[in-house]
A = this chain, B = another copy of it.
Amino acid sequence: MNPHPIGVFDSGLGGLSVVRHLRQLLPNEDLVYFGDTARIPYGTKSRPTVVQFALETAGFLLRFDPKLIVAACNTASALTLDVLARELPVPVIGVVEPGARAAVRLAAGQPVAVIGTEATIASGAYVKAIRALAPAQPVIAQACPLFVPLVEEGRDGDDEIVRLTVETYLGPLRSQGVRVIVLGCTHYPLLRGAIAACLGPEVQIVDSGRETSLAVQRHLSQHDGLSPQQSPGTMQSYVSDNPARFRQVGSRFLNETIEHVELVEPEQYVGRPRVPH
């Protein structure tokens, strides 16, 4: 048993869609969340910059002495997991590998589509993770840069712009025999309805957030790391900008009210030594 909290970081509030599953699966765990809302998004930026930001953001969580850190951001997982695993003194679980694993299992050899930010797709991380598990697996990768701003603006599947954008990015997948689609960005579960409507009922949707929570549960079980608490775990949230917006928009991702959010000043997380990449 291990009473220490689980640390979770993201470029903003998207990671709360991962926290939502963590809270359901592991209700007695204490969670500490840090969203780097001052520098969001990571998905349009270069690897050296995302590496630096992810190290600083994850580094801030170390002050809470976490037993495990979840990189609840597809871009950070795709671009930096190797560096985080090397540099941080605790285990780090990203969202790419669990999502890839579920996709391969469900696809049974039929084509898989992966969607994500520009940076996640350009990194090739999902394709690599899928091919590592199933070298012959057909994979189509598609960047959907407008999905994050659409969700951030509060638009959902009933919105006409959302419908047209989903159709523009994903409509071409219908003729390619795709059977599984991986939501490779923590914002995308909020567009799940529109994505399902575009692709039809025969396409299965993998939510990397849910798969990651299962991976966290497995890791803690296997390492005798589950919390000894019998009561519901706490949830503390930190952001680098705009706690009011986080509280308001974040509850849509978390599906529960966000109680405690604190602003983190740059001095508290910016400027950890750069790591060679």
Interface presence of A242 (CB below 8 A): yes
The 7 closest A-B pairs by CB, nearest first: A149-B149, A46-B242, A49-B241, A145-B153, A38-B49, A39-B39, A45-B241
- Encoded as 1 (CB less than 8 Å from any B CB) or 0, chain A from 43 to 59 comes to 01110110010000000
User: In the complex, what residues of B have CB within 8 A of residue A146's CB?
Assistant: 146, 149-150, 153, 161
With CB as the reference atom, state the residue of chain B lying closest to A48: B241
Contacts of A160 in B (CB 8 A): 164, 168
**Number of A interface residues, CB 8 Å?**
31
Complex contacts, A148 vs chain B, CB 8 Å: 149
A241 to B145, CA, bound (A): 18
Q: Shortest Cβ distance from A77 into chain B, in angstroms?
A: 19
Which chain A residues (83-120) contact chain B, with CB distance < 8 Å?
A: none
In the bound complex, CA of A37 to CA of B152 (Å): 20
Sample (19) of A-B pairs whose CB atoms are under 8 Å apart: A38-B49, A39-B39, A44-B152, A45-B242, A46-B242, A48-B241, A49-B240, A49-B241, A52-B266, A146-B146, A146-B161, A148-B149, A149-B149, A161-B161, A161-B164, A161-B165, A161-B168, A265-B274, A270-B270
